[in-house]
Structure 1
């Protein structure tokens, strides 16, 4: 629905139609089909311009059921490449593109639920005011807008540029290459991510774990060109995406929550802190939260906000191991040597790798990651763990 939103009343107003907001609306529709839900998105499409990927075991049965209606690309296995070796793994891997996310939600949600092209001016515990002056009163408000850099969090950055390519002939790639780190490192941990979307279609993404949030479009585009040339994969460009994501290594999460808190408004998605601090994965946590919110959807707004804030604190606590590893990545390894950490990691068992990405590492997993010959200097690692790290305060882009 794209017409003017007049003053109205709804039970739950969701601000932000990205992954978190869209999945919350879908879970509410499934569990409470009669509940009035309003999903507000500033852009013209739900999900923006993104691609989300995950392993089968990242989700439980309920999570897989929530995503069952989305058109996805699936593969039985994937590979990684490093200077020292190449490895194939048999784990099932999935990918969902934002146009398919948008299409599925429009099929399943009622017509009066989705409101795109609606920018929010203010929100509070009792509703949302749009830039056009319209007011939407609500029993509960959930803020799922994008996260922004924050002085209370510390770490580095994941900078990326992706390109969707249609090749003039079949490319012959059957499984994804999750990490091709056998490439020049350029002052960061650099790897190329390759998804075969069809016999003649590829998604190729150049990613950097960098100290700076600068996204140099010209440099990254040129490097993708050279990668495609080297692998004889050049073709028609049919789409793409860019991004700069925080890699969180520490900080004061209570202060972060206090700064973003609007009394009585629930925070979800990356804005609420529901992200893997090292990989920037969000999908497993967005699914988990959507189902949890649907289960308690009849709570008063203030109680729902408190529930989500407590869930975010628990998430921060249980992901401390990954923040520690991030500190070692940025603080203990020289930029051109950071690939050695992942090169060692991908020699471990497939199950451990999957649990790592889902943020579900067992105690034995953590011990296994930390034992053996370290890929970085012990002294530099100790220094990294004792240091505070750089504040996540700005993102910049170069043409």
Structure 2
């Protein structure tokens, strides 16, 4: 996958150095190539491929025309409509839904950016406003340095965790699923001793990748960042058995994502900051605090950086910090909902919050995921009988919440 494994990067100069070839870093490099084809850009990734081992999904309405154009050349799965399943009802919605794998992300970027831009298997040991130092001692000088590496856990932010394991299976016969099931909460909810740190809201996410290929992900919103591979794998096994799906496992992924309910964002920025270095992606704070959704924000960030690519690095760093503060302010509503989810709803009753939410209009649901809820949307979400006790909701909103520290993995 890496045509540059033996290419020397010693003593080179580039205009823009991007550290971290995940979703945010890759899209920034792509947007720069599209808007400034003459500009020298260097994309540096520690791993073997760009994007790691991930899958990103989004609604058609999440992106404007420019955003859709940025993703147009990626091979992806597309579906017209999706479903949600809850104990009280099942619902079909007509929205167009897309999903992109890191393998296809890597392949498309290599086609469009070329080998002179992409440098994988290059761990970075330090960076500053003037360049990047690699693990092997090589130095890459740059006018602008953009740090897109993921953040470590931060005591300055509070909340809970979204823990998941996904599995791709080639089924022995057609599985019969025709559209994604974004949330199947009809399953048994997380038991207190099941790796969820005292209980969790659990659901299964299903994508039909082909007539005989399925992606099934077991996900739960938990108080504790514990990833128990054995428990998750066993639950996926049982879900397949319940539906009569047999076949060969061909791939998978795991993850632990923060669900942010509050905190001191100014201190978080100071903690992540390297003076004069541009911060993007989750490290810059560009995430949906409740759903951990990143793609619409990564696209917006990439286009914004491309528009102002001629700025000196220090000015671009200040511009992106200001954008991050605005994003934090705009997403306060979602943090408040997250605080009520974790602080007011009993773990095994958390599904009721989502069960009520998915009865709302489809457009409202899509704007919610994109972080673009209108005032009327917010009122509609909050109006009516609350799915959690009012006294507990007030207590959750006024409480401090648990700090978001690095996740753990349970072996066995």
For Structure 1 versus Structure 2, the TM-score category normalised by the shorter chain is: over 0.9
Q: Distance in 2 between matches of 1:99 and 1:45?
A: 8
3-state secondary structure, aligned to 2:204: strand
Q: Which residue of 2 is the match for residue 74 of structure 1?
A: 78
3-state secondary structure, aligned to 1:190: strand
**Structure 2 unaligned spans of 5+:** 191-198
Report deviation, 1:172.
Answer: 1.1
Q: Distance in 1 between matches of 2:104 and 2:151?
A: 23
Q: Which residue of 2 is the match for residue 20 of structure 1?
A: 24
**Structure 1 unaligned spans of 5+:** none
Contact 2:151 2:272 in 1 (8 A): no
Q: Distance in 1 between matches of 2:106 and 2:88?
A: 41
Q: Distance in 1 between matches of 2:376 and 2:96?
A: 23
Mapped pair 1:155 → 2:167:
no
Q: Which residue of 2 is the match for residue 125 of structure 1?
A: 129
Q: Distance in 2 between matches of 1:394 and 1:30?
A: 36
Contact 2:24 2:280 in 1 (8 A): yes
Q: Distance in 1 between matches of 2:402 and 2:275?
A: 29
Report deviation, 1:2.
Answer: 2.2
Q: Which residue of 1 is the match for residue 369 of structure 2?
A: 357
Q: Distance in 1 between matches of 2:12 and 2:240?
A: 52
Q: Distance in 2 between matches of 1:100 and 1:25?
A: 16
TM-score of the two chains, using structure 1 as the length reference: 0.99
Q: Which residue of 2 is the match for residue 116 of structure 1?
A: 120
Q: Which residue of 1 is the match for residue 319 of structure 2?
A: 307
Q: Distance in 2 between matches of 1:391 and 1:20?
A: 25
Contact 1:225 1:234 in 2 (8 A): no
TM-score of the two chains, using structure 2 as the length reference: 0.96
Q: Distance in 1 between matches of 2:282 and 2:240?
A: 32
Q: May I ask how many residue pairs the two structures share in their alignment? A: 399
Spell out, residue by residue over 1:58-86, the C-alpha distance to the aligned partner (whole angstroms, 9 max, x if none): 00000000000000100000000001100
Q: Distance in 2 between matches of 1:233 and 1:251?
A: 43
Mapped pair 1:47 → 2:59:
no
Spell out, residue by residue over 1:137-169, the C-alpha distance to the aligned partner (whole angstroms, 9 max, x if none): 000000000122101000000000000110011
3-state secondary structure, aligned to 2:78: strand
Contact 1:159 1:207 in 2 (8 A): yes
CA RMSD in angstroms, aligned pairs only: 0.6
Alignment of 1:1-399 (within 5 A): 1-3=4-6, 4-186=8-190, 187-399=199-411
Contact 1:79 1:88 in 2 (8 A): yes
Q: Distance in 1 between matches of 2:335 and 2:373?
A: 13
Report deviation, 1:176.
Answer: 0.2
